[in-house]
Amino acid sequence: MLKELHLNAYAKVNLALNVLGSRDDGYHDVETVLHTIDLHDAVTLREREEGIEVRTDSPAVPADARNLVVRAAQVLRDTFGVQRGVEIDIHKGIPVASGLGGGSADAAITLMGLVQMWKIRLNGRGLLSLAASLGSDVPFFLEGGAALARGRGERVSWLPALPTTWLVLARPRVEVSTAWAYGSLDLPSVGARPDPGAMVEAMRREDLQAVGRLLGNVFEGLLVRTHPVVGELKRRILAGEAYGATLSGTGPTVFGLMANEAAARKTAEDLSALPDVEVLVSRTFAEER
């Protein structure tokens, strides 16, 4: 009997993101504090006789090897000589190319699901290594919750998750590629930088007001200059009952940590009046492992 798994792939926000410098391998060294939120994609894995097929309800998501889930399935088949195939259905809840990590989350949950489905013997270190080969954020999504990530993002130190905290997320309809953002970032001219170390300490104290004050992203100035709507969204979020607001990833999504659910929904209603902005309400999330 062919197997079928239904899994959720949760989004993330970057509470603090700093870029330290470029590396010889073409990547950059970063320090970032990540936290999963309950916004998610629904991923269904169905075993089949052969091949890898991806179906999605979003025309913006490729169904070929440009999609990390295809590469995740293929690397397992190649590494462990798996003869079976898989159909992968992705129902998108995470906006595409938003800085919220949807592609990496989908790849991580696909890796974990296929290891189970295909009964692959693989320890945690081996799984982390495969995840890192797919993308910088993928190792974090193997567990989610909260973490400090270093290197190009693959060196992950887990942190205690925040108490449930409501967020408002606003994704303007502008295109921001990760390659462009890193290529355009002039590190010597960056002004005030976020402090991931201070963020970690505030999280350990469960001091949400301090977490809000420390929210920061080294790409924020670049995005505000090139896409002024990013600055406008941050200003509007801060005008509500927000602990703080910043950019997630390389953007373009701006998010705010809000005082409560009512504040998040009120701010979301206000932001929804703006043209060409997708607005969502979510909350911090960490699965029981």
pLDDT string in tens for the chain (289-residue length): 668 999 999 999 999 999 998 887 777 889 999 999 999 999 999 999 889 999 999 888 888 888 999 999 999 999 999 999 999 999 999 999 999 999 999 999 999 999 999 999 998 889 999 999 999 899 999 999 999 999 988 899 999 999 999 999 999 999 999 999 999 998 888 878 999 999 999 999 999 999 999 999 999 999 999 999 999 999 999 999 999 999 999 999 999 999 999 999 999 999 999 999 999 999 999 876 5
Those residues whose C-beta lies under 8 Å from the C-beta of residue 68, and which sit 6 or more positions away, are 103, 104, 106, 107, 134, 135, 138
* Cα(126)–Cα(109) distance, integer angstroms: 15
Closest of 238, 236, 232 to residue 215, by C-alpha: 238
Q: Which residues form the catalytic set?
A: 12, 137
Phi, psi of 207 (to 5 degrees): -95, 90
| CA gap 220, 17 in Å, rounded | 10
Q: How far, in Å, are 48, 58, 107 from residue 73 at the CA level?
A: 13, 20, 9
What is this structure's pTM? 0.95
Residue 1, helix vs strand vs coil: coil
Residue 288 located in a structural domain: no
Task: Determine contact, residues 247/220, Cβ cutoff 8 Å.
Answer: yes
pLDDT of amino acid 9: 98
If asked whether residues 181 and 130 sit together in one domain, one would say no
Q: What is the pLDDT of residue 228?
A: 96
Domain boundary pick from 159, 187, 217: 159
**Helix (H) or strand (E) segment spanning residue 257:** strand 254-258
How far apart CA 51 and CA 213 sit, in angstroms, is 49
Alpha-carbon gap, residue 153 to 31, rounded angstroms: 7
Q: Which of 159, 191, 226 is the last residue of a domain?
A: 159
Q: Are residues 8 and 151 in the same domain?
A: yes
Specify the pLDDT at position 139. 95
Half-sphere exposure of 64 (CA within 13 A, CB side): 1
Q: How far apart are CA 145 and CA 203, in angstroms?
A: 12
Shared domain for 102 and 205, answered yes or no, is no
Supply the CATH number for residue 73's domain: 3.30.230.10
Within 10 Å of residue 46's Cβ, how many Cβ atoms?
16
Phi, psi of 73 (to 5 degrees): -65, -40
Same domain, 98 and 197: no
Looking at the fold, whether 58 and 29 belong to one and the same domain comes out as: yes
| pLDDT value of position 288 | 63
In a domain, 289, yes or no: no
Domain count, the chain: 2
Q: Same domain, yes or no, for 28 and 151? A: yes
Q: In one letter, which amino acid is 111? A: L
Residue 149, classed as helix, strand or coil, is: strand
Q: Are residues 134 and 273 in the same domain?
A: no
Which of 159, 193, 224 finishes a domain? 159
Residues 138, 221, single domain; the answer is no
List the CATH number of the domain containing 189. Answer: 3.30.70.890
Same domain membership, residue 8 and residue 147: yes
Give the domain extent around 237. 166-283
Determine the 3-state secondary structure of 284 from DSSP. strand
Is 258 in contact with 282 (CB distance < 8 Å)? no
Q: Residue 83 in contact with residue 49, Cβ under 8 Å?
A: no
One domain for residues 145 and 60: yes
